[in-house]
């Protein structure tokens, strides 16, 4: 018996987005240049020209955002004596999920005497969204890494109010195979209640985590505390500077986050796409 595609007994499966991209860089005559580049699905990497010996990579999700069941995979390998920074073309938007959870996994590897700045723009979580995100970082003994992850729970300027969503964020950072930083952050599904708790967000709706792993990180401690101010905090121990920032909206958060990135990223500053 043949079945017509329009038969109501056939359940249509929603289309899901998938993307995977990997970039490896190497030193060439004192400059950082492409070694290998792989792209699949909706994950793209673009490399704008910059007047510097370092390299800048821009991650692009051509699907325009993520929802339940979508998957993204990113990989960046920075060889010895290289300097690179990675950002996104725009904010990543996580839309309402009718089922399943969006899954984003990033793997970063940084070699000896190499430096990597991981600087994606804000991840925006909308009402009913669901996101699981993992970040795995493998460092050599003398490598330097700056990691920045800002998150927005609904855009205040657009009148968006997030009552329910799910966000799980897992970081694992190792140096020479030894675990030196780990965190698991989960909020939701009763997001509004959790954002209102004084010990968590105190009514704020944006946050950023900033992690610098560098032998000279301690010299940035006091300047960082001045920038972060009372809406957050900064700590340091064993070559690790960790800052948490919260604020009422993305614009106010950026007014402190951008100067902090400029301080910790030193000469490289903030990627140009942040201001476009």
Q: Which of 137, 142, 146, 106 is nearest to 21 (CA)?
A: 106
Domain map (residue ranges) of the chain: 79-275
- Tens-place pLDDT, residues 219-237: 999 999 999 999 999 999 9
For residue 194, how far is the Cα from the chain centroid? 22
User: What number is the average pLDDT over the span 165-179?
Assistant: 97
Confidence of residue 6 (pLDDT cuts 50, 70, 90): low
d(C-alpha 139, C-alpha 118), whole Å: 13
Per this entry, what is the length of the chain? 276
Q: How far apart are the first and last CA of the chain?
A: 58
Q: Where are the alpha helices (DSSP H) in the chain?
A: 191-196, 221-228, 250-264
d(C-alpha 116, C-alpha 268), whole Å: 11
pTM of the model: 0.91
d(C-alpha 244, C-alpha 233), whole Å: 5
pLDDT score of 159: 65
- Tens-place pLDDT, residues 36-61: 999 999 999 999 988 788 999 999 99
Confidence of residue 1 (pLDDT cuts 50, 70, 90): very low
């Amino acid at each position: 018996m043949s079945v017509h595609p329009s038969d109501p007994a056939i359940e249509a499966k929603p289309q899901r987005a998938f993307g995977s991209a990997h970039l490896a860089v190497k030193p060439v005559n004192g400059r950082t240049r492409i070694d290998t580049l792989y792209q699949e699905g909706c994950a793209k990497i673009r490399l704008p020209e910059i007047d510097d010996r370092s390299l800048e990579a821009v991650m692009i999700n051509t699907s325009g955002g993520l929802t339940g069941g979508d998957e993204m995979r990113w990989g960046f390998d920075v060889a010895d004596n290289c300097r690179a920074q990675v950002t996104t073309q725009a904010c990543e938007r996580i839309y309402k999920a009718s089922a399943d959870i969006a899954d984003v996994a990033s793997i970063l590897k940084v070699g000896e005497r190499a430096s990597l700045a991981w600087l994606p723009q804000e991840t925006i979580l909308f009402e009913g969204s669901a996101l699981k995100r993992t970040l795995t970082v493998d460092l050599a003994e003398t490598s330097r890494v700056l990691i920045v992850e800002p998150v927005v729970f609904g855009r205040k300027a657009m009148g968006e109010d997030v009552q329910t969503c799910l966000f799980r964020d897992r970081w694992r950072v190792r140096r020479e195979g030894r675990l030196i930083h780990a965190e698991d952050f989960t909020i939701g599904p009763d997001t509004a209640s959790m954002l209102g708790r004084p010990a968590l967000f105190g009514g704020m709706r944006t946050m950023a985590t900033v992690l610098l792993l560098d032998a000279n990180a301690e010299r940035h401690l006091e300047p960082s505390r001045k920038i972060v101010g009372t809406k957050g905090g900064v700590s340091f121990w064993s070559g690790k500077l960790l800052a948490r920032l919260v604020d009422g909206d993305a614009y106010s958060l950026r007014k402190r986050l951008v100067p902090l990135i400029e301080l910790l990223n030193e000469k490289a500053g903030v990627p140009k796409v942040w201001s476009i």
